Amino acid sequence: QQQVKQSPQSLIVQKGGIPIINCAYENTAFDYFPWYQQFPGKGPALLIAIRPDVSEKKEGRFTISFNKSAKQFSLHIMDSQPGDSATYFCAATRQRSSGDKLTFGTGTRLAVRP
Amino acid sequence: NAGVMQNPRHLVRRRGQEARLRCSPMKGHSHVYWYRQLPEEGLKFMVYLQKENIIDESGMPKERFSAEFPKEGPSILRIQQVVRGDSAAYFCASSPVGGAYEQYFGPGTRLTVT
């Protein structure tokens, strides 16, 4: 019940394309869903996050879509650039002021071709 | 405002030796999390600490691993009698009080056991 399933495992798009990465969760107690971007040899960087009371959130070229009934959420990258080539992780947790662990998906390796 | 700091960045240990990984959270953050990333895999939660307290250690192996976050100084993840299977990237994340679900990661320590 703690799993977060992520797909696809890898993705190749041309510059300007719109890669889409999908995640699904099981634990209905999760109520905060961040996405992290990781470059080789670096730590994950918080990219964008959503709460289940909204169906979509946009920050720059990055958009999260959220489907609470299906327990699914996805990341869209508009006008993708070669610099977006990285591994993307979805995650889920509970919003608690006392803190809680993140449960991560297995990651999607994105390559954006020039 | 400096980010999460981890040292050393790279650590090589022979089987049976001890590894000590250090993490200094972002200024103003009092929650520290440790995650492990095996090659080509996602991040797995290990332990969550606040100053002088272990809050959740459900992801820590029962033997050889320990963690602390003293009143003064960095958080320490200690691995005794390392084995080859401990080779991984270890990431520390920190979060502020009140926004404890927003976790910011350090650059990681890459442990290699020979």
The string of pLDDT tens digits covering residues B81-109 is: 999 999 999 999 999 876 667 899 999 99
Give the distance from residue A73's alpha carbon to the nearest chain B alpha carbon, in angstroms: 18
Q: Which residues of A touch B (CB under 8 A)?
A: 6, 32, 34, 36, 42-46, 49, 89, 93-107
Q: What are the pLDDT digits (tens) for B21-66?
A: 999 999 988 899 999 998 777 899 999 999 899 999 999 999 999 9
Angle at A77 between CA A71 and CA A79, to 5 degrees: 155
One-letter amino acid at B18 equals E
Q: Which residues pair with A106 in a beta bridge?
A: none
Interface probe for B, chosen from A87, A100, A109 (most Cβ of B below 10 Å), is A100
Other C-beta atoms lying within 10 Å of the C-beta of residue B59: 16
Please give the interface size between A and B, counted as residue pairs whose CB atoms are below 8 Å apart.
70
Task: Pick A106's closest partner by Cβ from B42, B56, B97.
Answer: B42
- Determine contact, residues A72/A24, Cβ cutoff 8 Å: yes
Name, in order, each residue with C-beta under 8 angstroms of B85's C-beta and a sequence gap of 6 or more: B113
One-letter amino acid at A81 equals Q
Task: Pick B100's closest partner by Cβ from A46, A89, A98.
Answer: A98
Nearest C-alpha neighbor of B49 from the set B64, B31, B62, B35: B31
- Determine contact, residues A111/A12, Cβ cutoff 8 Å: yes
Q: What is the pLDDT of residue B1?
A: 54
| Burial call A75-99: b when 16+ CB within 10 Å, e when fewer | bbbeebeeebbbbbbbbbbbeeeeb
- Determine contact, residues A92/B39, Cβ cutoff 8 Å: no
Q: What is the pLDDT of residue A2?
A: 64
Task: Pick B41's closest partner by Cβ from A96, A97, A106.
Answer: A106
Q: What are the pLDDT digits (tens) for A46-96?
A: 999 999 899 999 999 999 999 999 999 999 999 999 999 999 999 999 887
